[in-house]
Amino acid sequence: MTADKLSMVVTPPVVAAVAARAAAATPGVARLEPGVRGLLAVLTRAGRQRWTGADPAPTEGVRVRVTGAGLTVHVDIAVRADGPAAEVGRAVQEHIAREVGEHTGRQVDAVCVHILDIEPEL
């Protein structure tokens, strides 16, 4: 089979898993925050994957919406108190856009970062 006859479809749950990993690995991010809507989506997806025997990739706190030729990624995070939240948010945006593009070949139109909590220093 030649390269021009191959096609690949990367679904939103795969993009969400890549985005979740990228966000969690960004310096200054304490954790991803799933929220109520995120918890329901995670439980539904995890149940479906367990039913089929697949191990679910962590996607808590990440939602992906297909927008025309690209994607919009929403991520809910908690940041550490030792750095400026706005800088961490911008770093998360850049890291997610780069990682999703590199690992999936999908164009990211927007990354919306919602900072839901700031972890106090202990």
Per-residue pLDDT, 2 = 56
Per-residue pLDDT, 10 = 81
Across the chain, which has 122 residues, the per-10-residue mean pLDDT values are 67 90 96 73 64 67 87 95 94 97 93 93 75
Residue 19 lies in a domain: yes
Per-residue pLDDT, 102 = 95
Number of domains in the chain: 1
Host domain of residue 90: 9-119
CATH of the domain at 43: 3.30.70.1350
Residue 73 lies in a domain: yes
Per-residue burial over 69-106, b if 16 or more Cβ lie within 10 Å, else e, is: eebebbbbbbbbeeeebeebbebbbebbbebbeebbeb
